[in-house]
Amino acid sequence: MAEELIIPVGTDRKEIYDALIPQISGLIETESDLIANLANITAVLKEAFGFFWVGFYIAKEGQLVLGPFQGPIACTRIPFHKGVCGASYSQQKTILVPDVDHFPGHIACSSASKSEIVLPVFHKNGTVAMILDVDSDQLDDFSEIDAAGLQSILTLLERKL
């Protein structure tokens, strides 16, 4: 396992995602423990992009339950249909929110969170295993570049589910 993350400097997000994908693949490929892999993925994303909050909510006990994350403390349980996380889970799709104040039902774990992107992670049988939630303290901080880059990372993870 590589001990050091190599993050290209002075490049755009697409190039950073491109550099991270093989490194994340290397990090998780020989580790079978799910929580360890989720923890390292959140650490990579936090270190590479400095996101305000990045973490997983795992579908269990009829709810989304907080999993490994990086950032300030967060809500521990989210109902399947509540907030951006619940919308991504129940609609089984990526949701990009440029301004959380304009998303009906947004759950404000922190008032500093201004925009976010949430992506579902699928089991092989097509059900949603968990969601990845990335929050920014800047408005309109996420684009299709993030949707594609994060999706590529989650595809690596889905192979191990």
Chain positions contacting ligand SME, by CB under 6 A: 53, 74-75, 78, 83-85, 106-107, 109, 113, 116, 133, 135
Q: Residue 141's closest CA among 159, 104, 121, 116?
A: 116
Distance in Å, CB of 88 to ligand SME, minimum? 8
Distance in Å, CB of 108 to ligand SME, minimum? 7
Nearer to ligand SME, 83 or 149 (CB): 83
Nearer to ligand SME, 16 or 97 (CB): 97
Nearer to ligand SME, 6 or 35 (CB): 35
Distance in Å, CB of 130 to ligand SME, minimum? 13
CA dist 47 and 120 (Å) reads 22
- Between the alpha carbon of residue 155 and those of residues 19, 140, 151, 158, the distances in Å are 16, 25, 6, 5
CA dist 116 and 110 (Å) reads 12
